[in-house]
Amino acid sequence: DADVTQTPRNRITKTGKRIMLECSQTKGHDRMYWYRQDPGLGLRLIYYSFDVKDINKGEISDGYSVSRQAQAKFSLSLESAIPNQTALYFCATSDRDTQYFGPGTRLTVL
Amino acid sequence: GESVGLHLPTLSVQEGDNSIINCAYSNSASDYFIWYKQESGKGPQFIIDIRSNMDKRQGQRVTVLLNKTVKHLSLQIAATQPGDSAVYFCAEKRFGFQKLVFGTGTRLLVSP
C-alpha cells in the first residue's frame, strides 16, 4: 500500500464550486505539505503543517484553505474554484528534511 | 524560478550509457539537497539526498555530487535503463528554514 494517498485522483469541476482534496499518510510523519504543479512553473508550496495544531501559508495560499484533521490527514479546500486553479496538486509528508509525495490529484476547473 | 513542463531541458541517452543531470543552486546557505524523479502521471519520487557536509553520496546506480564552491549539484545514473526515463529535479533547503525550494527539471529520455 502507498504511504501517501490522495483522493480524488482526478476531478473536473465548475467555476464557483467548493472542492476538497484529501491526503492521508501512514508514514507517521508530523509534517505535511500541499503543492501545486503547473507546466512551466514547477512545484509551488500552498500550505504546510508541522503538527496538528500548526498551519502555515506557503507562497501561493490565496484562494485555498487547509485542515489538519489528525496527524495522518491533511485536506486542501478550494472555497470557490476558478479556472486558473486548474493544476496538478500534490501532498507530501516529512519527518525532517526529506519530503515524500503522494500520487497527485489532477484538478480541472471549467 | 525554474520550471517543470513542456519546455524542459532534455537529455537523450542510449540504454546502458551513464547519464549526468545537473542543477545549479543560488543560495550558499543551503545545507540539504535532494533529487526527485517524476514519471508521467505520478508524484515526485525520492531518489537520493546529500547534506552540505558531504561532497558525494552513492545509492543504487545513482551518485550525487555536490560542489559548494560553484553551487552545483549533479545526479549521475549508471547504466541508464528505459525505466529511468522521467523528469528529474533537484531541491534545496536553506539552513534554518523548513521548506524545500524546487529547481530545474530535466527530462531524461532513454533509447533502447
Which tens digits make up the pLDDT trace of A28-70? Answer: 999 999 999 987 667 999 999 999 999 999 999 999 999 999 9
Mean pLDDT of chain A: 94
- Which residue in chain B is spatially nearest to A99 when comparing CA positions? B46
Q: What is the dihedral of CA A104, B105, B58, A28, to 10 degrees?
A: -20
- Which pLDDT belongs to residue B6? 46
Looking at residue A79, the DSSP 8-state letter turns out to be S
**Which residues of chain A have a CB within 8 Å of the CB of B33?**
none
Report the C-alpha gap between B109 and B88 in whole angstroms.
Answer: 11
Answer yes or no: do A39 and B6 touch at CB < 8 A. Answer: yes
Report the C-alpha gap between A73 and A105 in whole angstroms.
Answer: 15
Interface test with A, best of B40, B49, B52, B98 (most A CBs within 10 A): B98
Question: What residues of B are in the A interface, CB distance below 8 Å?
Answer: 1-7, 32, 34, 36, 41-46, 49, 89, 91, 93, 98-100, 102, 105
Answer yes or no: do B46 and A98 touch at CB < 8 A. Answer: yes
Task: Classify each residue of B5-35 as buried b or exposed e, where b means 16 or more C-beta atoms within 10 Å of its C-beta.
Answer: eeebeebebeeeeebebebebeeeebbbbbb
Q: B93 with B101: CB under 8 angstroms?
A: yes
Report the C-alpha gap between A27 and A25 in whole angstroms.
Answer: 6
B93: nearest CB among A31, A41, A97: A97
Nearest to B48 by CA among B90, B16, B104, B10: B90
Which amino acid type is present at position A56?
Answer: N
The Cα-based distances of A21 to A65, A72, B9, B12 in angstroms read 11, 14, 31, 36
Which amino acid type is present at position A32?
Answer: M
Residue that the C-alpha cell 497527485 belongs to: A104
- Which pLDDT belongs to residue B3? 33
Report the C-alpha gap between B59 and B64 in whole angstroms.
Answer: 8
pLDDT by residue for chain B (112 residues), tens only, comes to: 333 334 578 999 999 999 999 999 888 889 999 999 999 889 999 999 999 999 999 999 999 999 999 999 999 999 999 999 999 999 998 877 778 888 768 999 999 8
